[in-house]
Amino acid sequence: MQTFHGHIYFLENEIDRAAIIRENIAKAFPQLTYVGRLIAKPVGPHSKPMFEIHIPASEIEKITPVLDEMRQGLSVLIHPVQENELEAHTVGSRWLGEALPLDLKALTKT
């Protein structure tokens, strides 16, 4: 089953707001297969602190517009889960809000 990852980004001084948004998302979307913890520092290709959600492909069109309303100005990256992570995070991705820079080197296999 195809899955999408959603990464919801926040600044260090927005962690309390991000925690509330995370809780609201978890309550609003019981169909999510994963709601990750708040990661308070940049990790992997992500240039800001964030938390991750996993969205079943069958729910993506239903969840995306509601997620856009719930994000309270935070940037959200949504991408498909696929073997080519670089392509997933660039060609196959979409942003809600401001698109943020990603460390694409972290996505290439050496």
* Domains detected in the chain: 3-107 (3.30.70.1240)
pLDDT (tens digit, 9 = 90+) per residue, 21-63? Answer: 999 999 999 999 999 999 999 999 999 999 999 999 999 999 9
- CB-based contact 88:80 (threshold 8 Å): yes
3-state secondary structure of 56: strand
Report the DSSP pairing between strands 76-80 and 34-35. Answer: unpaired
Q: Which amino acid is at 55?
A: I
d(CA 66, CA 47): 24
Q: Is residue 110 pLDDT above 60, yes or no?
A: no
